[in-house]
Amino acid sequence: MTTATPTYHHGDLPTALRRATVELVTEKGVAGFSLREVARRAGVSHAAPAHHFGDTEGLLTSVAAEGFRTLADEMAKAAEIADGARDRLYRTGIAYVRVNTDNPAHMAIMTRKDLVCNDDPQLLAESVRSYDLLLDTVRAIRDELNPDLDVDAAATFCWASIQGLVQLSPKLEEVAEDTGTRTAPIEVLVDQFTDFLLTGMTGD
C-alpha cells in the first residue's frame, strides 16, 4: 500500500500558502524562498500562489502583515495587564522579544523592506497599529513620569533599542559559551534594559 503525498484540497488556501512560506523561510532563509517551492509544499499547482497574491512580493507582503498583526496583538495583551508605565514598557518589550523569538521567519520578512510592498494597505495598517501601541506606552511614561518627554523621539529610541537587543541576544549567548560565563535570561535583560531606557527618558 502506498501513501499519497498530502495535497491541498479545501479550506483557506492563502493561509496554507503563508504557512508554507514560513516553513520554507525558517528552513532556508529568505534567500531560499521561491513561489514554486511554496506551491509544492502546499500541494497546489505552481500557479496558485500567483493567482492569490500576484507575485513573490505579494505573498511576502501578506506574510509580513501577518507578522505585524501578531506583534500588535501580543503588545496589546501585554499593555492590558500592565501595572503602571514602567511595567507596561517592560511587558511590551518582552512581548516584542518573544514574537521575534517565536516567529523568526516572519521577522526576517518584516524587516526586509526591499522584499515587500511597503504601500500595501494591510501591511501599513498592522505595522502602524504596533507602532501606535509603543507610542501609547511612551505617552504613559510621559504622563506618569516626565511631562516634558518628547514622545516621538523616545518611541523611536525604544523601538531601535529593543530591536538591537533582539539581534544581539544570540551573540551574547555565543560569547558566554566561548568564555565559559553565563548570560542573563532575556526577561532579566529586558528588565535591565527598561531601567536604562527610563533613565534616559526621565533623567533620574
CATH number, domain of 47, equals: 1.10.10.60
Query: Is residue 2 assigned to a domain?
Result: no
Any domain includes 136: yes
The total of structural domains in the chain comes to: 2
Domain containing residue 85 = 57-202
Whether 112 and 44 share a structural domain: no
Angstrom CA distances, 154 to 96, 119, 201, stand at 17, 25, 7
139-167 residue pLDDT tens: 999 999 999 999 999 999 999 988 888 88
Residue 160 belongs to domain with CATH number: 1.10.357.10
Which of 4-18, 43-57, 182-196 tops mean pLDDT?
43-57
Please tell me whether residues 113 and 193 are part of one structural domain: yes
Could you give the 3-state DSSP secondary structure of residue 164?
helix
- pLDDT attached to residue 182: 58
- Give dist(CA 154, CA 192) in Å, integer: 17
